[in-house]
Amino acid sequence: QVQLVESGGGLVQAGGSLRLSCVASGSIFSINVMGWYRQAPGKQRELVATIGKSSSTNYADSVKGRFSISGDNAKNTVYLQMNSLKSEDTAVYYCKADVVNPFGREFRYWGQGTQVTVSS
């Protein structure tokens, strides 16, 4: 079993910054991809950013140039630095990890979510 624990959400004014963290723990052999998704009220969950084991990154167009994803493979941790926040960034942010267990099988796990609220 694998657990993802997110932290760093909160309330911030438009134009401000927040940094989210997510730590994965449990039965982990390796992690292929970690990332962040978000879900606003009444909307579907959407990709924000992902980072692969080789540090390749992918961003939603809406956050390019404002958000930056990074990871620490040794700590099974992923970060999301969010700058120039807008009211439309308000959502619950979820951490995701594609984890390979000691038996070589890959599973996808989700965190419990952390609320980010941007006031205008």
**pLDDT (tens digit per residue) in 4-29:** 999 999 999 999 999 999 999 999 99
* Per-residue pLDDT, 81: 98
| Contact in structure between 2 and 27 (CB atoms under 8 Å) | yes
Sign of the torsion angle spanned by Cα atoms 117, 59, 82, 2:
positive
What pLDDT, on the 0 to 100 scale, is given for residue 57? 98
CA atoms of 25 and 4, how far apart (whole Å): 7
pLDDT tens column, 35-77: 999 999 999 999 999 999 889 999 999 999 999 999 999 999 9
From the DSSP assignment, how many helices (H) and strands (E) are in the chain? 0, 11
Beta bridge mates, 46: 38
pLDDT at 49: 98
81 alpha carbon, distance to own chain's centre: 10
| Identity of residue 119 | S
Take residue 6 and report the two structure tokens written for it: 């997110």
Do residues 43 and 117 lie in contact, with contact meaning Cβ atoms separated by under 8 Å? Answer: no
pLDDT of residue 14: 98
